[in-house]
Amino acid sequence: MNEPEPELAWLKKEFKLTDAEFERITKLHEAYLPQCAQRCVRIAALNQTLERLLGQSASVTPEIQQVLAERAKLRADCEAEMLNHFLSVSRTMPPEQGKRYLEWVEQQTFLSGRAMEQLHQSDDSSTHHSHSMAGHPR
* Span of 88-92, 104-108, 114-118, 122-126 with lowest mean pLDDT: 122-126
List, for residues 40-50, the tens digit of each pLDDT value.
Answer: 999 999 999 99
Per-residue pLDDT for 67 more than 90? yes
Confidence at residue 7, expressed as pLDDT on a 0 to 100 scale: 80
Residues 131 and 125: their CA atoms lie apart, in Å, by 10
Is the Cα dihedral 38, 77, 129, 22 positive or negative? Answer: negative
Domains of the chain, earliest start first: 17-132 (1.20.120.1490)
List, for residues 77-99, the tens digit of each pLDDT value.
Answer: 999 999 999 999 999 999 999 99
Going from the C-alpha of 45 to that of each of 4, 32, 50, 101, the distances in angstroms are: 31, 20, 9, 32
